[in-house]
Amino acid sequence: MKPNNIQRTALVTGAAKRLGRAIACGLAADGWDIVVHYHSSEIEALATVDAIKAIGREAVALACDLSNETSTRKLIEQSVQALGRISCVVNSASLFEYDDAETFSIATLNAHMHTNLAAPILLAQALYETTPDGEQSVGPQLLGGHVQAVGEAAVHDMDPRAVGREHVEPFVVGCGVADAQHSGAGAGGRRVANDPAARLGSAE
C-alpha cells in the first residue's frame, strides 16, 4: 500500500498487543508513523510505541473505549492533534466472546456490534471529514464471522459522498477466531492457538 498521494500516518486500533501490535510495527517498518490505540493495556501500548520509535518512525499511544460513541468520534481528531493528518485507519480492535444458542443475549450482541461494527463506521466517518479535497485515505477493517458482510456493506454505504468522491476507500479483511473447544479442524475455523489474535475476549 504505497500510493503517492497518501501521507503515511496511520491509526491502528487495538495496537497494544498481538495482531494489532504486529500490524502497527509492520506499517512502521514500511515507513508509516503510527497512532497506537488501546483501551486498557497502557503498558503494552507504550511498549509498542517504543518499538516503533526504535524502527525510526514517530508514534504515540491514545486510549479510547470504542464501545463509547462520544469517545470514538473524538479519536481521529485526537490522532490528528498528536501526529498530523491521518490517512489510514486499521480497525484491529475487536470483541470476540464465545456464545451459543443457550447463552446468546441481546446484551452480548450489542456489545459486539458497538466495538466490531459501529466503531469502525464512526472512525470512517471521521476519517472522511479530515481528508482534504484531492487526497486519499484508506480504512482496512478486520472482521470475522457473521459481522464481516454486514460491516463491509455498512462502511461502503455509510456516506455516499465518501464513495462518490473516492476520498476514503474502506475494505474488509476477514480475521475470525475460532474457539478450539467448539470448532474442530474440519469446521472451517482456525483454532485460537494458531490465530494471530490468539484469544477470545475483550478489545484491549
Q: Which helix (H) or strand (E) holds 168?
A: strand 168-174
What pLDDT, in 10s, does the model give residues 112-136?
888 888 999 999 999 999 988 888 7
Fold classification of 9-194 (topology level): Rossmann fold (3.40.50)
State the helix-helix crossing angle for 119-129 and 147-157, rounded to 10 degrees.
20
pLDDT at 69: 95
> Domain limits of the chain?
9-194
Q: Given pLDDT bands bounded at 50, 70 and 90, which one contains residue 153?
A: very low
What pLDDT, in 10s, does the model give residues 32-54?
999 999 999 999 999 999 999 99
Report how far residue 13's alpha carbon sits from residue 119's, in angstroms, rounded to the nearest whole number.
10
